A = this chain, B = another copy of it.
Amino acid sequence: MNSQLRVAFQGTHYAFSEIAARKYFHEDITTLPCRQFTDVFSAVEMGDCQFGIIPVENSTTGSVYQNLDLILDSRVTVVGEVQLRIEQHLIANPGVKFGDIRVVYSHPQALQQCGLFLASLPDIETIASNDTAGSVLHIREKRLLHAAAIASRQAAEDNHMLILREEIEDNPENYTRFHIIAKTSETPPDANKTSIIFSMKNIPGALFKSLSVFALRDIDLLKIESRPMRGRRWKYLFYLDFAGNMQEERCRNAIRHLEEITSFLKVLGSYKAADE
């Protein structure tokens, strides 16, 4: 039955988003590769897919504002979360030796995550591609013998490619957190975490007051991030995750209280937190 679940993701097959989707849904799913993140949102909003998966935070490179902005403007809800350790590998065509490599292809985020490794190879050119797994396909299809790609182990193995160097990411504690999005207003029954975005009125100590609505109700905060909205003096967007779901009265009360002191507030969704 689950094989009829269709999940949209950005990238080509064996991209980290697709690996994360399979980890989240456990069983067989049909995945729809999309060129851009906006296409993932469209696929869900138009009903082509029941679910979409989008990266929202990486432990090395931080929040993915692009996707947080897209959620803000969309009609989808966050219904799930999954976390994946991101191991990056240097991948080449079979027979290619490390010394042959003159150019390395990958997604800009992956290139950044392997910055120290790449900096140790000053004579190698790095080429930014649309996704990690796609860069493996590129060097395979063009049979490039002086090129390598940075991508997942799966992308190497399933394309019968060679891993030249393993785990080349700067920080082995390199995790990405993904949100599962859907067009629904229902809260999953096992939801224990809620994500919201709000902006503050210009009052001193406003941030402290906004956090007090949770502290007063013994609701734990799991993440907080302020993002300056440049060009609008003293205007900030806040990204906040808290423990609890919108079916709970204390959480609904906290949000109602928060609305009194914010100029804008959107609940992105309640969902079951990813396992650590």
A interface residues (Cβ-Cβ under 8 A, vs B): 35-36, 57, 59-63, 65-66, 108-109, 111-112, 115, 119, 122, 125-129, 173-175, 204-205, 207-208, 211-212, 214-215, 218, 220-221, 223-231, 233, 276
On whether the beta carbons of B119 and A108 are closer than 8 Å, the reply is no
Return the contact of A205 from the options B36, B128, B218 (Cβ within 8 A). B218
> Dominant SS at the A interface?
mixed
28 A-B residue contacts at CB 8 Å? A36-B119, A57-B228, A59-B227, A59-B228, A62-B62, A62-B65, A62-B227, A66-B115, A108-B112, A111-B128, A125-B127, A127-B127, A127-B128, A173-B229, A175-B228, A175-B230, A204-B218, A204-B220, A205-B215, A205-B218, A207-B211, A207-B221, A207-B224, A208-B211, A208-B212, A208-B221, A211-B211, A225-B225
Given contacts A108-B111, A127-B126, contact A225 B224 (CB under 8 A): yes
Minimum distance in angstroms from A120 CB to a CB of chain B: 10
Q: Considering the chains assembled together, what is the distance between the CA atoms of A115 and B276 in angstroms?
A: 31
